[in-house]
Structure 1
Amino acid sequence: MTKKILCPTDGSDHATQGVHKAVELARLTGAQLTICVVNIAHGAVRGPLISHWTDEEVAKLLSDSEAVAKADGLSEVGTVELVAREPAPAIISYADENGFDHIVMGTGDKRGMTRLVLGSVASDVASQAHCSVTVAR
């Protein structure tokens, strides 16, 4: 039985579809939902570690996704920022270390470079996660 759901988002339309599906599953099962943003880290070999998004951008992504979840009827929603160089391993590790038993994430029709970058995250999570993964379109 699903008790804890992790839903990664980047604020895109396809990620928001994942939030809608995660809320639906959480409501059906009574599971706890946590929405996460993976803030990609660049640099730090000999220079500073630079995050892709500012603190304000991360806060907006999380609050927007939390608002979607609440509009869909879920009153309790957790949020977390993960900072990592690669999103898929960060999502998988966080889910494993924190006892999540389901990951719900969105993906969409992608072409060219976008498909290689974004589509591979959902694919990697689905193929490597220790728990069930639902990929929403």
Structure 2
Amino acid sequence: MYNRVLMVTHGAKTSLKAAEYVVELKKRHPEAEVEIIGVATSPVDRNALIPGLLDIPMNFGIDTRMQTEARIQARQELGRTKALFDQVGLDVSPVLLEGDPGKNIVSYANRRGADHIVIGSGEPGFWGGVLRGSVAEQVVEGANCPVTVIT
């Protein structure tokens, strides 16, 4: 039995597969509350060579524009994903997070008492993969609940 399922959407093809998986899960567990998680992450955040560097307060004038664009893209992806659930008559709640995807997804899931997280695998990029690994890996390692990674 599931009380709270989190589904992470990020625009990759595997996000669509993850949504399809959660649709079937929700049909089998109608009592489950489903939250769709999108994370607004600017390219600078995603490809930072030194983890934690962007936690240092500094603004070179481009941060605001990139963060705004990242929020717009994340909201659009949340809307597209929610529409898939709406089409089959399933109620879900979209949630927009900002910043480091892996860290913030894990933190949110743990705070909300998630029973299950579903996330599509994605490409972390060369430096992101070398230094931090994929977001899915970070979620699997940090979550206090089972995580299904869709490939």
Q: TM-score, normalised by structure 2?
A: 0.75
Question: Residues 69-100 of structure 1, C-alpha deviation per residue, up to 9 Å, x if partnerless?
Answer: 223x242110010012x211100110111121
Distance 1:90 1:13 in 2: 22
Q: 1:114 deviation in Å?
A: 8.7
Amino acid corresponding to residue 85 of structure 2 in structure 1? A
Q: Mind listing any 5+ residue stretches in structure 1 that lack a counterpart?
A: none
State the distance in 1 between where 2:20 and 2:127 align: 22
1:126 to 134, 140, 143: 140
Q: SS of 1:45's equivalent?
A: coil
Partner of 2:3: 3
Counting aligned pairs with the same residue, the percent is 29
Measured in 2, the distance between the counterparts of 1:65 and 1:119 equals: 25
Please identify which structure carries the higher strand content. 1
Aligned to 2:48: none
Q: Given the alignment of the two structures, is residue 45 of structure 1 paired with residue 39 of structure 2, yes or no?
A: no
Aligned length: 134
Query: 5 Å matches for 1:1-137?
Result: 1-30=1-30, 31-40=32-41, 42=45, 45-47=57-59, 49-50=63-64, 51=67, 53-71=69-87, 73-84=88-99, 86-107=100-121, 113=126, 116=129, 120-137=134-151
Distance, in Å, in 2 between the alignment partners of 1:112 and 1:78 is 29
The answer as to whether partners of 1:37 and 1:81 remain within 8 angstroms in 2 is: yes
State the one-letter code of the partner of 2:2: T
What is the root-mean-square deviation of aligned Cα atoms in Å?
Answer: 2.7
CA–CA separation in structure 2 for the residues paired with 1:53 and 1:39: 8
Structure 2 Cα separation of the partners of residues 7 and 13 of structure 1: 14
What whole-Å deviation, never above 9, does each CA across 1:85-137 have from its counterpart, x for those lacking one? x21110011011112111001116x5962982896111111122101111112
Q: Distance in 1 between matches of 2:101 and 2:117?
A: 13
Greater radius of gyration (CA): 2
Q: TM-score, structure 1 length as denominator?
A: 0.82
